[in-house]
Amino acid sequence: MKLFNTYSRSKERFLPKGKTVGFYTCGPTVYAPPHIGNYRTYVWEDVIRRYLGHCGWKIRHVMNITDLDDIVLREAKKKGVGWKRLARKYEKVFLKEKRSLGCLDAQAYPRASEHVLGMARLAQKLLRKGHAYKDEKGDVYFDISKFGLYGKLSHFSPVMKAKKKISRQDYWQHEAGDFILWIKCRANGSGACWNTPLGYGRPAWNIECPAMSMKYLGEEFDIHMGGTDNVFSHHENEIAVAKCATGKGFVRYWMHVKHLLLNGKKMSKSKGNVIVLADLLQRGYSAREVRAALLSVHYRRRMNFTLARMERIAQYVRRVGTALRRVEKAAQKGAYAENARELAAAKRKGKDALECFEYNMNDDFNAPHVMLHCCNLVCWADGKAKIRKLGRKSALLVLKTVREMNSVLNVLEI
Ligand SMILES: [Zn+2]
């Protein structure tokens, strides 16, 4: 099986280190309901995880919940509620919606706020090793000039004319600089401050994920995934933190899901150009149809989401569903006595479909192509069912094959 590794910018054969694949996916920042662009990433991560399982690997999937971040604290303050209350509310929304989209649960959902001590220790380790420094205010920064590989993931070479410190956690591509790891609390206004060996304060986003991923998956693990907007700076910074702290390789395969545009434009709350799952459910689409729509474009291609596309995919899923019901009927009480030649044809069709499924999924998870081929098999069987020429054995065989493919894609009710 080959997958595209952002780190090497090439398709590589997937060879996990141990028996269990360590799979870390950056989870949501819980201050509002995720939009469908976020869910595109989570749904693709689910398909990739399921396919690894289909290939026989055991998976340990960890997804963090970012409940401790500038944006959560800011939103809570704006709304006049406690940050924890706000975070728990949207964590619940996220988990419920993700499940409704047919995604398997991660084995662990560590919350940042419950791992503060580990994060403080990690920052301390970097201070001790000379990779980080405390500024005059007591905040801790990572010194990117001391890490020669900085920029390797994003292929971005920082120009370090003058030492630049970036204390905001959400900065842009042109803003490479020493990034913040730890924020010293001067007054306990937000309540999000902890007493740690590093002092009274709270961690910044970029130290959260490396601390939690290494705690749950070890200092080296196989796959780290997220949206493409995480490549720089979040994942670049994660690599710097983890590699400098441990001296080990950290992650073997970095995978990223490209942006989703809404009607050709970047989704932006302030411009009102946002769609959340609830909007689509309200329009009468099922979560499964939304899942199919989000999978209809390969994860490494940018997807333009429009209602026209949503409608087209939903109709397709319904059509295949109706066809499947007829095949199911034939499997239950099909009276047609098929001959050996017809059964052999069904077997061949099923084998072809599975081969096609594995061939395409082995090539960096080409699920959109599989979705079309899955239909071919169903349509073929349905064609025979309609003229009452589908035997019971053939129907069962087709259903078994479709079930196997659907255990990865999970876009059909079967
Ligand atoms: Zn992360």
Which tokens is 298 given? 């390969």
Q: How far is the CA of 395 from the centre of ligand 1 (A)?
A: 45
- Long-range Cβ contact pairs of 54-58 (< 8 A, separation 24 or more): 54/361, 54/404, 54/407, 54/408, 55/1, 57/16, 57/20, 57/21, 58/19, 58/20, 58/21
The DSSP 8-state label assigned to residue 103 in this structure reads: P
pLDDT, one tens digit per residue, over 34-80 is: 999 999 999 999 999 999 999 999 999 999 999 999 899 999 999 99
- Nearest-5° angle of CA 40, CA 79, CA 260? 15
Distance 209 CA to ligand 1 centre (A): 5
Distance (angstroms) between ligand 1 centre and the Cα of 201 equals: 20
Q: Is the pLDDT of residue 9 over 90?
A: yes
Scanning the structure block, which residue is given the tokens 């990865």?
408
Identify which of 217, 203, 206, 212 has the alpha carbon closest to the alpha carbon of residue 239: 206
CA distance 182 to 390: 66
* Residue 27 CA to ligand 1 centre (angstroms): 7
In this model, does residue 106 exceed pLDDT 80? yes
Centroid of ligand 1 to alpha carbon of 291 (angstroms):
23
pLDDT score of 271: 80
Per-residue pLDDT at 159 = 63
**279 Cα to the center of ligand 1, angstroms:** 27
- The per-residue pLDDT for range 221-263, each reduced to its tens digit, is 999 999 999 998 899 999 999 999 999 999 999 999 999 999 9
Indicate whether 287 pLDDT > 60: yes
pLDDT at 169: 65
Centre of ligand 1 to C-alpha 278, Å, is 25
64 Cα–ligand 1 center, Å: 7
Length of the chain: 414
Q: Check whether 166 has a pLDDT greater than 90.
A: no
Alpha carbon of 142 to ligand 1 centroid (Å): 17
Q: Is the dihedral of CA 221, 223, 225, 228 positive or negative?
A: positive
Tens-digit pLDDT profile for residues 289-330: 999 999 999 999 999 999 999 999 999 999 999 999 999 999
Q: What is the CA radius of gyration of the chain?
A: 24
Distance 22 CA to ligand 1 centre (A): 15
Ligand 1 centroid to residue 300 C-alpha, Å: 19
What confidence tier does 158 reach under pLDDT thresholds 50, 70, 90? low
- Classify burial at 323, counting beta carbons within 10 Å of its beta carbon; exposed 0-12, middle 13-18, buried 19 or more: buried
Give residue 336 CA to ligand 1 midpoint distance, Å.
56
213 C-alpha to center of ligand 1: Å?
9
Strands 303-305 and 260-262, sheet pairing: parallel
pTM beyond 0.85: yes
Distance from the CA of 226 to the center of ligand 1, in angstroms? 7
Q: Using the mean position of ligand 1's atoms as its centre, give its distance from the Cα of residue 26 in Å.
A: 4
Write out pLDDT tens, residues 343-401. 999 999 999 999 999 999 999 999 999 998 777 899 999 999 999 999 999 999 999 99
Distance 189 CA to ligand 1 centre (A): 26
Measure 237 CA to ligand 1 centroid, in angstroms: 10
User: 264: CA distance to ligand 1 center in Å?
Assistant: 27
Report the separation in Å between the CA atom of 144 and the middle of ligand 1, taken as the mean of its atom positions.
Answer: 19
In this structure, the strands spanning 178-184 and 140-142 are antiparallel
Tell me the CA–centroid distance for residue 272 and ligand 1, in Å.
Answer: 26
State how far Cα 46 lies from the chain centre: 7
Helices 287-294 and 36-54 cross at an angle (nearest 10°) of: 80
Closest Cα to residue 192, out of 64, 292, 93, 85?
A: 85
Structure tokens at 218: 């070890």
Specify the CATH number of the domain 12-282.
Answer: 3.40.50.620
DSSP assignment string, 51-68: HHHHTT-EEEEEE-BB-S
pLDDT reading at 173 higher than 60 = no
List the domain boundaries for the chain. Answer: 12-282, 307-409
Q: How far is the CA of 97 from the centre of ligand 1 (A)?
A: 20
The rounded Å distance from CA 404 to ligand 1 centre is 32
Centre of ligand 1 to C-alpha 216, Å, is: 14
The amino acid present at 403, given as its one-letter code, is R
pLDDT for the residue numbered 247: 96
85 CA from centroid of ligand 1 (Å)? 22
Q: How many CB atoms lie within 10 A of CB 63?
A: 25
Query: CB under 8 Å to 309, separation ≥6 — which residues?
Result: 293, 296
